[in-house]
């Protein structure tokens, strides 16, 4: 069992990131939204925006009517991901075992660091001071014997640094609301908690202390609920590892069944997926594309990709999309899920054109330096090749028409009584 697990939380991480990028937003009411579409919702908001009556989860259409003076900013995933990686590198210098969680959240295993830092509180102050000096961002740090209690302490305690001593976990959790327990988010558990009016963790502790009623009420969740209600967690702090899945998903700004827009969206997702596969030097022997419609229906089709260049992954993704999208309803979201990875073989193939591979490598160099969105194909920007072909065809027709008109003009020049033809 671990004794010193730190949880670092940067409250309103997205809001702090936007105010770092633009200092004029530090005193203005702002809200970060998932999408500018009327079905979008508020993800994070400033205290000034809360005074206007806004809150998390509020629809964008309602927010626009309620508060005209609040700036609505789109969710900038690229910015948040860069800051998240930068801060992870910063906090990793304080412990050899660090785990990034959600944006602005990190776990540190500080066991074995007693000879370096005088005590837990001093180490926490050093970390918080370092984060503030690097990015001027406010952080909270929870210290306890496990990840569960440390993360809950940063979520409910307003103090910058808070420590829960070993053995006091159940006492610390008892007065808190039941929703602080992760397992309380499960549908079955949440329904039972509401039905029994178990508003506080101490009420759950009383129920689960009796095995027979506890198992009858919560079934398969009884053991997990018992551990969480008493502040027990055996999960370890784990550094980042290669994931078993690579998932790329997008929610369209507006529901649509326009095939040009949908194909361009699929191309963009496939380019991101291919980029991540090349970073891992792997291919996916299982690729699943899932389409979510506005009426809640979803359809998926599966395939595989033998190579990780953009052209191969995009072609396979488009084929899967055409197979999956057989309904006339509008689409809200598209998801690509790659699994069953295999290392790329270094053997060169004699009869395969390697120009797509060279192009993908060149694009990766640009994206590594300037970000993924710095360069993309014209078709992803809804500039299809058909337009180029049409332009060439029109130019060819215009040239031929001009030649015919010139011939007619030359023919009619011999008769001064006839006017010359003029090409327009």
Condensed to tens digits (0 to 9), the pLDDT of residues 56-98 reads: 989 988 999 988 889 999 888 888 989 999 999 999 999 999 9
- Written as six digits, the tokens of 242 are 């290669």
Can you give the residue ranges of every domain in the chain?
A: 1-158, 167-241, 246-381, 386-424
395 vs 207, higher pLDDT: 207
Q: What pLDDT, on a 0 to 100 scale, did the predictor assign at position 420?
A: 34
- Is 404 in a helix, a strand, or coil? helix
Q: Could you tell me the CA-to-CA distances from 41 to 15, 18, 59, 73 in Å, in that order?
A: 15, 17, 4, 11
Q: What is the CATH number of domain 246-381?
A: 3.30.1490.100
- pLDDT, tens digit (0-9, with 9 covering 90-100), for 241-292: 766 888 899 888 888 888 888 999 999 899 999 988 988 888 999 999 999 8
Answer whether residue 402 shows pLDDT above 50.
no
Distance, CA of 21 to CA of 71 (rounded, Å): 15
DSSP 236-293: PP------S-EEEEEEEEEEE--HHHHHHHHHHHHHHHHHHHHHHTEEEEEEEEEEEE
- CA pair distance 398, 38, nearest whole angstrom: 46
Give pLDDT, residue 242: 64
- Range 167-241: architecture per CATH: Orthogonal Bundle (1.10)
Give pLDDT, residue 350. 57
Instruction: Give the residue among 76, 78, 7 at the shortest CA–CA distance from 44.
Output: 76
The model's pTM is 0.66
- Paired sense of beta strands 298-303 and 140-144, if any: unpaired
pLDDT of 298 over the 50 cut: yes
Rounded CA gap, 91 and 127, in Å?
7
Helix, strand, coil shares, percent, the chain, to 5: 50, 20, 35
Please tell me which residue, 345 or 332, carries the higher pLDDT value: 332
For the cut 80, the answer to whether the pLDDT of residue 367 exceeds it is: no
Tell me the fold of 1-158.
Answer: Alpha-Beta Plaits (3.30.70)
């Amino acid at each position: 069992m671990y004794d010193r697990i730190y949880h670092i939380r940067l409250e309103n991480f997205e809001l702090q990131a936007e105010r770092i990028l633009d200092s004029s937003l530090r005193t203005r009411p702002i809200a970060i939204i998932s999408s500018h579409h009327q079905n979008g919702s508020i993800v994070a908001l400033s205290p000034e925006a809360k005074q206007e009556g806004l809150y998390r989860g509020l629809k964008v259409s309602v927010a626009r009517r309620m508060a005209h003076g609040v700036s609505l900013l789109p969710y900038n995933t690229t910015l948040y991901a860069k800051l998240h990686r930068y801060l992870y590198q910063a906090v990793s210098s304080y412990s050899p075992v660090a785990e990034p969680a959600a944006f602005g959240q990190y776990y540190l295993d500080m066991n074995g660091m007693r000879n370096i830092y005088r005590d837990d509180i001093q180490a926490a102050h050093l970390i918080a001071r370092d984060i503030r000096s690097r990015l001027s961002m406010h952080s909270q740090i929870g210290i306890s014997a496990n990840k569960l209690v440390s993360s809950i302490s940063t979520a409910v305690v307003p103090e910058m640094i808070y420590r829960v001593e070993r053995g006091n976990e159940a006492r610390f959790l008892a007065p808190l609301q039941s929703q602080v327990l992760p397992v309380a988010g499960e549908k079955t558990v949440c329904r039972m908690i509401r039905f029994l009016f178990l508003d506080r963790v101490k009420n759950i502790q009383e129920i689960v202390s009796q095995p027979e009623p506890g198992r009858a009420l919560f079934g398969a969740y009884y053991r997990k609920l018992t551990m969480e209600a008493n502040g027990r967690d055996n999960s370890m702090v784990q550094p980042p590892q290669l994931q078993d899945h690579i998932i790329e998903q997008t929610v369209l700004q507006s529901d649509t069944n326009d095939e040009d827009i949908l194909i361009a969206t699929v191309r963009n997702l496939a380019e991101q997926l291919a980029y991540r596969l090349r970073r891992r030097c792997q291919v996916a022997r299982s690729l699943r594309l899932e389409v979510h419609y506005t009426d809640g229906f979803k359809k998926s089709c599966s395939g595989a990709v033998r190579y990780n260049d953009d052209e191969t992954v995009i072609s396979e993704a488009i084929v899967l999309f055409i197979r999956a999208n057989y309904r006339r309803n509008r689409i809200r979201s598209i998801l690509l899920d790659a699994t069953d990875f295999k290392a790329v073989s270094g053997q060169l193939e004699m009869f395969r054109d390697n120009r797509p591979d060279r192009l993908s490598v060149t694009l990766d160099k640009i994206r590594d330096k300037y970000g993924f969105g710095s360069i993309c194909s014209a078709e992803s920007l809804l500039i299809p090749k058909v337009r180029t072909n049409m332009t060439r065809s029109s130019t060819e027709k215009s040239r031929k028409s001009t030649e015919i008109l010139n011939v007619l003009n030359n023919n009619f020049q011999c008769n001064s009584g006839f006017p010359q033809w003029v090409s327009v």
